[in-house]
């Protein structure tokens, strides 16, 4: 999609299953797997400093634009420029109301420090 885009990594947690029911009961981020996603446009989002008593924090993130069909869910995390971010909301799949084409995905990320 973007010939000069960046390579980011999808960080997907290992699933922890209940030994009896085999249902997913937790996510194991210590045993997560990384998968490269190529040619991504990474637009920095404005950072903010929420006002809270006795806490200094900064919220920052990126808006990511990538090819349609990338396997990414709201539960995953992404590593952009060496820093891991949570996915903020659902992955947006753009669709043209005129042609029906699917030009790509839009993903909002965020990280709270402090």
For a pLDDT cut of 90, what percent of the chain falls above it?
Answer: 66
pTM: 0.84
Judged against a pLDDT cut of 80, whether residue 110 lies above it is answered with yes
Judged against a pLDDT cut of 70, whether residue 87 lies above it is answered with yes
Q: Mean pLDDT over residues 88-112, rounded?
A: 92
Which of 15, 13, 11, 32 minimizes the C-alpha distance to 24? 15
**Two tokens at 55?**
């806490």
Judged against a pLDDT cut of 90, whether residue 59 lies above it is answered with no
């Amino acid at each position: 999609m973007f010939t000069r885009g960046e390579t980011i990594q999808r960080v997907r947690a290992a699933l922890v299953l209940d030994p009896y029911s085999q249902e997913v009961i937790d996510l194991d981020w210590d045993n997560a797997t990384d998968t490269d996603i190529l040619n991504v446009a990474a637009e920095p989002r404005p950072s903010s400093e929420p006002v809270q008593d006795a806490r200094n924090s900064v919220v920052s993130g990126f808006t990511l634009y990538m090819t349609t069909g990338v396997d990414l869910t709201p539960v995953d995390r992404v590593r952009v420029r060496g820093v891991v971010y949570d996915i903020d909301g659902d992955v947006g799949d753009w669709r043209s109301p005129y042609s029906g084409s699917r030009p790509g995905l839009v993903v909002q990320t965020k990280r709270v420090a402090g």
